[in-house]
Every structure is written in structure tokens, then in C-alpha cells.
Amino acid sequence: MPALAASAPLAAPPRSPAKIVWGRLVSNPITVGAMIVIALLILASLLGPLFTGYGYDEVDESAGRYESPSAAHWLGTDGLARDNLTRLLTGGRISLAVGFFASLISVTIGVIYGAVSGYAGGWIDRLMMRFVDTLNAIPLMLFVIVLMVLFEPGLRNIFIALGLFYWLNMARIVRGQILSLKSSEYVLAARALGASRRRIILRHLIPNTLGPIIVTLTLNIPSAIFTEAYLSYLGLGVSAPMASWGYLADEGVKVMGRNATLLIASASAISLTMLAFNYLGDALRDAFDPRIHRD
């Protein structure tokens, strides 16, 4: 009998969408650098104050006011002889917390609101979108100023303002995606099988909009951080003894003639964070776009 022909090599198993996106991300050195920078910023903010040897509101009796950078105080001291490095690292906790909180709000409210609006359609969709348009017409800065007049400046009011406004863009994006997907064959098949609206939205539609959701989520973080920094710079954000990067930048401007290190460090932290998240957001948008890559 003739020898059996050698069997053809087995095809490689198909990669999951998550692995495909991850492969696209790590193939770009700039994106990898942005992810490393973000990880280092988070670790420095969380763990850094534990190793500086000072509390964020601790006065160093042996140091002078507005002391220049030294071995004991790498970024010098402020007007109360507190360590600027410790305050900068602690301020990163507040700034990053604001960014992640705004993103969490945008996902929790915006995704559900936009999905329900887009799937319902008709007058329900129009009514829900008019509510979004009404909130969009209110300037964020005006709303924050009103909050500060009615209450006292602080982190709580910043959370309230961001919580009320940062989900609006996410809702619009998710609604647009749902409108384009709800007539797909797999959605029609789910309806024919008797799937409820809730199941169709949660199990079929929202998972297929994860790409735009993740991209918008990533880009919302630097936007919220900058908004908080701007408000704190104007004196409408966190109040002493708490200090975010925007608050420290405002302090740095006031003492720039004595010690410009605090201004440079806080402004650099804000800029580096925004740059890294924006690079990551752009990379995620490209990685999720099938028109750019043909894997």
C-alpha cells in the first residue's frame, strides 16, 4: 500500500478579541511607555508617601519655610515647613481618584442610560436625549460655582459636579452604538428566541460596544484630572490641609520667586498624566478599530 500522505499542519487556534487588542497595544513602544508611566504614577501616589518619612500635613521643626530642595526635602518645603514631595505624592491620590471616580460614574450611568435610550427608540429615546441636552447646556464651571456658594469648597462638591456631568458623553456614544447594532441579525435572532429586553441589552448589545466604552473611559480620566486641577487652581476645589496637584500648582505660583520646584513638579505631574492617558486612549481606539488592523 502507498504510504499515507503527511497530514497538513494544524492551523493555529484563533485568538480571542482581548488577546488581539492586547497584542496590538504591546506592539507599540509608545503605548507600552504610556502604560508604564501610568503604573508608576499610581504606585508612587499610593506607596510613595509611606517612604518619604513625613506626613502630608507634618511640619518639620528642623526645616525652614520655603526651603530649597535638599537631601532631607527633595522638593523643598512650603510656607509651613511641610515636605513638598510628600504633599505632591499625596496630591496624586486625590487627582487620580477624581479621574477614576469620574470614569466610574460615566460607565455606571452613561452606559446603562445610553443603552436603554438607544434600544427603546421612539419617544422614549427623544425624551431621554433631551434630558442629556439640557444638562449639557449647563456650563460645568457655573454649576461648580453655584455649589461652592451654597456649600463649602471641597472634594465632595467636585465629585458631585463630575458625577452629574461626566456620564453625558458616554451616554451619547453608547446610544449611537446601540442604534447601529440593534437591527443586527444576532439581536433579531435573540428576539425570535424570546430573550427579554434586559438580556438583549446586557448580554448582546453592551458587550459589542466595549471598544468605544473603554476608549471613552480612558480619555475621561485625564479630562477629569485636568478639570479638578483647574478648579483647585481657581480655589474652587479641595481645601487645606488636603492638596491635589492643581492646588499645589496654585501654591507654587504664589511662591515661584522663592522656590519654583513645587510649581514645576505639580505641573509636570499633571502634564505627564494627561499625556500618558491620552496616548493610551488613542492606542486603544486604534487597537479596537478593525479597519486599521487586519489580524
Mean pLDDT of the chain, nearest integer: 82
Q: What is the pLDDT of residue 131?
A: 93
pLDDT, tens digit, 9 for 90 and up, residues 209-263? 888 888 888 888 888 888 888 888 777 777 777 788 888 888 888 888 777 888 8
In angstroms, the Cα distances linking 257 to 228, 260, 261, 268, 278 are 25, 7, 10, 18, 32
For 276, the grid coordinates are 500618558
Q: Is residue 137 scored above 90 in pLDDT?
A: no
Give percent above pLDDT 70 in the chain. 91
pLDDT, tens digit, 9 for 90 and up, residues 22-31? 777 778 888 8
- CATH level 2 (architecture), domain 27-47+84-288: Orthogonal Bundle (1.10)
Q: How confident is the model at residue 295 (pLDDT cuts 50, 70, 90)?
A: very low
What do you get for the CA distance between the two ends of the chain, in Å?
Answer: 42
